[in-house]
């Protein structure tokens, strides 16, 4: 099973389920050149949330996180 989601910033992530063990999914998330493995649905959701937060944040001149609005 494979799904592609498009984020607000125009980035795409690819989610590939590679197996199912102990009643949970295992697979990988591919974002650009980065490949991130996950071993449960919860870990998948947390990784997706982290990727979305990274795509919506930037830093100002003093290194503070600033939310970027489109």
pLDDT tens per residue, the chain (70 residues)? 555 554 455 678 899 999 998 889 999 999 889 899 999 999 999 999 998 888 777 555 555 555 555 5
- Cα of first residue to Cα of last residue in the chain, in angstroms, is 32
Q: Model pTM greater than 0.85?
A: no
User: Half-sphere exposure (CA, 13 Å, Cβ side) for 35?
Assistant: 4
Contacts of 36 (CB under 8 A, 6+ apart): 28, 29, 30, 47
pLDDT computed for residue 32 by the predictor: 86
Question: How far is the CA of 69 from the CAs of 23, 24, 38, in angstroms?
Answer: 39, 35, 29
Give the model's pLDDT for residue 69: 55
CA–CA gap between residue 30 and residue 42 (Å, rounded): 17
């Amino acid at each position: 099973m494979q799904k592609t989601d498009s984020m607000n910033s125009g980035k795409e992530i690819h989610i590939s389920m590679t197996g199912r063990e102990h009643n949970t999914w295992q697979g990988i998330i591919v974002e650009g050149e980065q490949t991130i493995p996950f071993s449960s649905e919860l870990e998948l959701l947390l990784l997706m949330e982290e990727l979305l937060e990274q795509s919506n944040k930037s830093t100002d001149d003093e290194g503070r996180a600033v939310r970027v609005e489109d």
